[in-house]
Amino acid sequence: MQTLNVDLGERSYPIYIGDGLLTRPELLLPGLAQKKAAVVTNTTVAELYLDPLTAVLVKQGVEVVPVVLPDGEKYKNWETLNLIFDTLLSHRCERKTAVIALGGGVIGDLAGFAAAVYMRGVPFIQIPTTLLAQVDSSIGGKTAINHPQGKNLIGAFYQPKLVLADTATLNTLPERELCAGLAEVIKYGLIRDGAFFDWLERNMEKLLKHDSEALAYAIKRSCEIKAAVVAADERESGIRALLNLGHTFGHAIETGKGYGVWLHGEAIAAGTLLAARLSLRMGLIGETEVERITSLYRKAKLPTSAPDLGAKRYLQLMGLDKKVESGRIRFILLKKIGEAFITADIPEELVTATLSGIAANA
């Protein structure tokens, strides 16, 4: 097992990464404030992992309240959030009753937001079961639901007490979901660590074959980068925004196509390529870098072109991005592979040209 720490003063917490951690009560129990916990999950993950987790907790004398939600990005909304509150209230869950998220990023974001506001905040634990959730969404305290007009627009910063990433759960993950998670892994190489990007170029086949050593390294390195960025800028007043590489375009794709049509990771891959093409138009990187990024996404079985929503629709959707400041869209661009920066200082015609060029690059 590897243990990392998210260093946030009194709100610091551990990330445990390893095979078989789901049934290690000694890791989970310190996150509980009383012997009662609500486990929020979905129908798919419940079938696989709710019973083993419940058995471990019950054996320790913990009363478990299961909250089983429908599965899918399209349910990451107000109505589903309210289903969580209905169950917590009808089971008399109190201020000290922990909420445990068991699932991917959708469950983590929904359960985390519920934990942040239920009785003004209850203890929260993340048990991520997708690659994407293990390397990204379970860490850092961003919680949210979608609005019909845009992704993750309603939410809160709310840190978990601990993150328990059981890598054995990835054995049941469909290949398309594994690949979607790889998009966020590649993101870390692009924004902060060129050597990690090189490593991914050499090891992508192993990752796709679930090679346990390669996966463990990719998860650990990703978590290290995320933990360091979050510790430096918890509420995204500076460098945390870099973690949104590809997200301004990507969120527009997810909303524009309808939630769940493009997986989050797929939209981020396509969005990152748009950000790379915009960086190319700005003269920041060259064709060689764009080709390396495209080729790594191709190897990771991720999209290498974005859907053509039309430049006007993209701009309309991107206008609701959370990074918009004084009405100006701020973009994360690349200076090189391994270094990203944020800027609003981009001639609008270059953005429009990038979006209009989608059909040509498809």
Q: Which residues are part of the catalytic machinery?
A: 120, 142, 184, 226, 236, 240, 244, 247, 251, 264
46 binds, among ligand GLY, ligand NAD, none (CB under 5 to 8 A by kind): none
76 in contact with ligand NAD (CB under 6 A): yes
Of residues 72 and 357, the one with the C-beta less far from ligand NAD: 72
Does position 136 interact with ligand NAD (CB under 6 A)? The reply is: yes
Does residue number 234 form part of the binding site for ligand GLY (CB under 6 A)?
no
d(CA 41, CA 108): 9
Alpha helices in 118-211 (DSSP H): 131-132, 175-192, 194-208
Q: Shortest CA distance to 41 belongs to which of 133, 121, 116? A: 133
Contact by Cβ (8 Å): 262, 253: yes
What whole-number distance in Å separates Cα of residue 101 and Cα of residue 259? 21
The least CB distance from residue 136 to ligand NAD, in Å, is 4
Task: Tell me: does residue 177 bind ligand NAD (CB under 6 A).
Answer: yes
Residues across the chain: 362
Considering beta carbons, is residue 145 or 285 the nearer one to ligand NAD? 145
Q: Which does residue 133 touch among ligand GLY, ligand NAD, none (CB within 5 to 8 A, set by kind)?
A: ligand NAD
Residue 67 near residue 84 (C-beta atoms within 8 A): yes
Q: State which residue, 126 or 294, has the beta carbon closest to ligand NAD.
A: 126
Looking at 63-71, 136-144, 212-220, 316-324, which segment touches ligand GLY (CB under 6 A)?
136-144
Closest CB to ligand GLY: residue number: 243
CB–CB of 217/359 below 8 Å?
Answer: no
DSSP string for 249-308: HHHHHHHHH-BTTB-HHHHHHHHHHHHHHHHHHTTSS-HHHHHHHHHHHHHTT--SS---
Query: Is 48 a binder of ligand NAD (CB under 6 A)?
Result: yes
The partner residues of 64 in beta bridges, in order of sequence, read 37
- Provide the minimum distance between the beta carbon of 151 and ligand GLY in the complex, in angstroms, as a whole number: 11
Interaction between residue 142 and ligand GLY (CB under 6 A):
yes
Q: How far apart are CA 278 and CA 273, in angstroms?
A: 8
Binding site for ligand NAD (CB under 6 A): 42, 44-45, 48, 71, 73, 76, 103-107, 109, 129-130, 132-133, 136-137, 140, 142, 151-152, 169, 172-173, 177, 180, 264-265
Binding site for ligand GLY (CB under 6 A): 136, 140, 142, 240, 243-244
